[in-house]
Every structure is written in structure tokens, then in C-alpha cells.
Amino acid sequence: MRMHNPPHPGEIIKTLCLEPLGVTVTQAAAALDVSRKTLSAILNGHAGISPEMAVRLSIAFGTSAESWLNQQTQYDLWHAEQRRKELRVAKLVAV
């Protein structure tokens, strides 16, 4: 079952992972071994979760990489579905 307007995974990281721990973006970026700019882009919804980032997050927060990728997929799919009527795709049928 698809979620209605799911949050960006960056919002989840910020509100459910970093804030409860009192961890800053700079501290989290260092722990994940990524740049502050990279993590900030994710947290602000300007970049998505890559498979490698999903693994990093799973190690840092004791979660599964699959859960992070699933959140990203659900977010991306919901937004793509919102543009469905704009797509100029012809239905293919057997002749």
C-alpha cells in the first residue's frame, strides 16, 4: 500500500534520528564520513538517498539499508504519480 504524500527521507533523518540524539549536521556528516554539504542537501530534500548512503545510515543508526531505500522509492514514486497526466506516453498493445 502506497503512502499518501510520504515525507522526504531527509525529514525522517532530521526529526527521528538527529534531533532526538542532539546531533548537529556537522557531527552527523563526520560520523557518516560525508561532507556537510552532502548531508545538508539530503536533510533539506534537495538530494535523495543513494544505495551507498542507505548503507551508511543503516550502520550509523542501526537500521536496514533497505528501509532507507524504500522510503526514497516511495517518495519518488508518489511525486512521479502526481505528474502522471503530464506524461505523453502511448499505450502499447499487441497487433
**Domain residue limits, the chain:** 9-86
Predicted pLDDT of residue 95: 86
Any residues with CB less than 8 A from the CB of 40 and at least 6 apart, and which?
25, 29
Please count the residues of the chain.
95
Instruction: Classify burial at 26, counting beta carbons within 10 Å of its beta carbon; exposed 0-12, middle 13-18, buried 19 or more.
Output: exposed
Model confidence pTM above 0.85 = yes
Q: Which fold has domain 9-86?
A: 434 Repressor (Amino-terminal Domain) (1.10.260)
Amino acid identity at 69: L
Does the pLDDT of residue 2 top 90, yes or no? no
